[in-house]
Structure 1
Amino acid sequence: MPFDLWLVFIAVSLLPAISPGPGVMLAISNTLRFGRNATLASASGNAAGLVVIGYAVAFGFGAIMATSALAFTVLKVIGAAYLIYLGIKVWRDASSFQVANASTGPSKSPVKLFLEAFLVSITNPKAILVITALFPQFMSKGGISLMETSVLSFTYAALCFANHAVIAVAGNQMRRFLTSDRRIRWVRRVTGGLFVGFGSALATASR
């Protein structure tokens, strides 16, 4: 891939990479609940999921999703159910976003954080739609190129990882805001509500 075309791809991908979505909300939630290292672990899982989607789209997954009602429905139901589950869990967990808990280290293992973010990523409708629409515009018309697919997939994943890393670094500032039970309660409700909202939107989405 020509260097100038790669730079154009980065410029075009920046807005989708930093725009709010399930992955970003999960990064914010993990930062507030468990701290910086936990967010970096989940950011790695999110990036790995994006790479998988990138290769899948290049090798025909996008076309299958566009033509197969069953495949689309299965992915939609799995993703929606998991997002709603996360939302209800955050809403009901009174210990969520407690500053004291965040300072003692993550209560989840890095592997669990990675896998949780990976599942959210590969069922994220925003990521699937962006990659399906964006990648073909920067790929050669002569057929699938493993090199081009790798460059595009890892570049987009790296942009999203960087965005989550910024969120992780900003965790101290965000936790300073959570100095009262009232604020914690509202942040927990808003975060949980957004996850449920993303899940509900996915459940009602059409191709």
Structure 2
Amino acid sequence: MPPTPTPRHKPLERVFAYRVFDLRDRFPQPLETFRQALECLQSDNAYLPDMSGEIVAYHLGGRALPIPEHFFIRHTDNSLAVIPSSENDQACEAVDTWLTDVLSRETDDSVIASTLRPSRLNILLDQCDPNAPEPDDIQAWQHMGEVGREIIDAPSREDIWEAAVQVMGEVQARRWMKTAHPQLEGKSPNLCIEEYPAGVYELVLQMSSGAS
């Protein structure tokens, strides 16, 4: 008898969790649905969700998919606000449609593998060449004296936000935090703060000195 084919997941079934980010990272727990994530941003516990709120869907293949903010942040002239709960049904339906479209186009395993988020040590080690020389800019950074806020061992999300606002202003800092950056492997600073806060903080310091 021919082997029984392995059942394929429906697109939305490949999303196993959602995560909410705000400025003070008050929602570290994984959530089952986008609605639950949205309700976190709408709650009184969220800190400046209109400025720093982000919702990420995690894919069975290892990918982290940031949900476009226009689904849950309302732009009105120069103001920003999380949508009211009365619009949650509409927002959830729109996000499900968007995720279905994105994931249905990722049927090739090679595509999914190429977008793996390097969130575990073994994945990072597999991608590293231990004999490769350190780039000049990294060597220069390591030999630079400790000055100002560079002495922070583990900058928090709030430290990074305050530094970015000081360098760029609130509006530009908010846009920068949610924009993919080549020095963060094409991920946004918001998405990398949890795992690589020092690297994100370093980018802010580079901008303050005109290095990037």
**TM norm. shorter chain > 0.5:** no
TM-score (norm 1): 0.24
TM-score (norm 2): 0.24
- Larger Cα Rg: Structure 1 or Structure 2? 2
Compare relative contact order (CA 8 Å, sep 6+) and give the higher one, 1 or 2: 1
Q: Which of the pair is proportionally richer in helix? A: 1
Q: Which of the pair is proportionally richer in strand? A: 2
